[in-house]
Chains A and B, each alone.
Chain A
């Protein structure tokens, strides 16, 4: 695989503010990479640096093998889709699409032909003579996309392109962009604060915080093996439960405030750890049949899914399919598969666990505590 975008220890300062800290990133040609993180994490700055709209302070940035450090945006041959779409309001859709071609000296007729081809792909054929103000949000979004596609650039840069759309349209456009990517196979960098977008669209997800890359990898790898507490809490919805614990005397159990959990492998007794459990990995069973019992604080149901919050400190969230007869104040048992546990040390770093005895435990559980609490209808 050839690398299309390479960043080597890139730093960006705004005065004294350190916006990007030693960023190393390699993006393969044709892949779809999502930069995700909370606002102010530096993901947009990184994207704008790739476009050349911000100048990096130190480090090296390459696109298709050429150093881009001192190259102005217009010579980088990248295309960008802006959050606000940045459609030129004084130009028709067609003129918006062909703008970059006309600047490069492509003849009007040829530019028009190319624009029509692209419009056919993105479904804009009937809208070519309209002005941006006459378009709906989704149509504008499509024009912005088409304007990027038309150039066959070395890379597509997306800056939160879906955040101005309503929820339903956002889900639809997510699929459309992904389908477009399957078709064009152009290198794409996609900035979003929405981890679901990142997880569903990208081949490779880069999680950033405070100007640092916290972890990068395939979406499900990030979900299954988050490198630290931040990534664990950021990826997945609803967020992972974190419980402070101590390793028991036997070194094979974690002691929580309200119970004990088996660990995959031995740890030094007395070590302070944080146990992470995703809400979807906890099963509710009748009281006394799980790993421990908890009283229920609140039950929220969306109809298809029920979110249950425990009245413990810290609180635990559990997700179950279906709707329940549970109520606030009930006591339920919680069953947790040790293989689904995440352990983090005092600094929030992941403690790797190999589960040699996972199979055995699963069998044990299915044999002994196999009476899950029916909360569905």
Chain B
């Protein structure tokens, strides 16, 4: 078979597969633009005949989304900063040495990585309430997310550091730099991409985090967008176009960032989880 025809054919099949797989996303975007009656039409309309663009402004206003997204942002930025400050150094050391202690440390970190948040929230909630951390609930959530996600970050960033040759750092030492200087001048700039990608992944996780926020943040004005969406979806809701508009506003920035950085994110992710 002709190489070009084969490639076209495969690409066509791939596009169909992608279309099927990504249909739920499409359905979210389409539903958001439908009117109340179009939404419940049988058979369902797959192209919006009368797109309701005003729905976004309406949902934004009525659900007070600015505040929710701001809280999500505060929590995500806080968690990523804390994780980055603490995790980068840890990952660096675990990448540089090969001995029993490093193995033990890695093992502990991998074990912490797997603890489900919904199981850890009970002791964390009780403990935090006892030491008064729930007075500042967003900070409490930041701490909890940092503890939950840091192991993942460390594993990914460690892989980034391992790809920086040891000799470069040694060359910097012989050239007259101190350990700290070599770390900041040589190692950090070279691992920068890997660190950034890992931080973005952690940011995306924290931006959509739900369990901790739902459990620890009672005050509605401090809740993030995930909790807001949960409140929006009552048990017998039929405002699906509004809910999908909310979801659209919530995830579109995340999706845009992902599509832009896709190649790097996929590479960073796979280097840490396997190999």
Q: Which residues of A contact B173 (CB under 8 A)?
A: 52-53, 72-74
Chain B residues whose C-beta falls within 8 Å of the C-beta of A100 in the assembled complex: 175-176
> Knowing A90-B190, A103-B181 touch, does A84 contact B167 (C-beta < 8 A)?
yes
**Residue of A with least CB distance to B178:** A74
Decide yes or no whether A147 CB sits under 8 A from chain B.
yes
Total interface residues on A, CB under 8 Å, equals: 26
Chain A residue with the shortest CB-CB distance to B186 = A88
Contact with A along B181-212 (1 / 0, CB 8 A): 10000100110000000000000000000000
Which residues on the A side are within 8 Å of B172 (C-beta)? 88, 99
CB contact between B167 and one of A52, A82, A103 (< 8 Å): that residue: A82
A33 touches B (CB below 8 Å): no
* C-alpha spacing A22/B123, complex, angstroms: 58
Instruction: Say whether B168 faces chain A, with CB atoms less than 8 Å apart.
Output: yes
Which residue on B lies nearest to A157, using beta carbons? B174
What separation, in Å, do the CA atoms of A157 and B176 have in the docked complex?
Answer: 14
Residue pair A82, B170 in contact (C-beta under 8 Å): yes
Let me know if B174 and A103 touch, CB within 8 A.
no
Cβ of A111 within 8 Å of any chain B Cβ, yes or no, is no
Q: In the complex, A51→B177 CA distance in Å?
A: 13
Size bracket, chain B contacts: 10 to 19
Contact call B175/A103, Cβ cutoff below 8 A? yes
B171 within 8 A of A: yes
Determine if B165 is an interface residue (Cβ-Cβ < 8 Å). yes
Partner of B165, one of A76, A86, A99, A147: A86
B179's nearest neighbour on chain A, judged by CB, is A72
Bound Cα distance A349, B25 (Å): 80
Give B167's nearest chain A residue, CB to CB.
A86
Contact of B165 with A74 in the complex, beta carbons under 8 Å: no
In the complex, which of the residues A73, A83, A84, A90 contacts B174, with contact meaning CB atoms closer than 8 Å? A73
CA distance A68 to B169 in the complex (A): 20
Q: Which residues of B contact A79 (CB under 8 A)?
A: 174-175
Q: Which residues of B contact A36 (CB under 8 A)?
A: none
* B interface residues (Cβ-Cβ under 8 A, vs A): 165, 167-168, 170-178, 181, 186, 189-190
Residue pairs across A and B with Cβ atoms less than 8 A apart, 9 shown, are A51-B170, A52-B173, A53-B170, A73-B174, A74-B174, A80-B171, A82-B170, A84-B167, A147-B175
Question: Chain A interface (Cβ within 8 Å of chain B)?
Answer: 51-53, 72-80, 82-84, 86, 88-90, 99-100, 103-104, 147, 151, 157
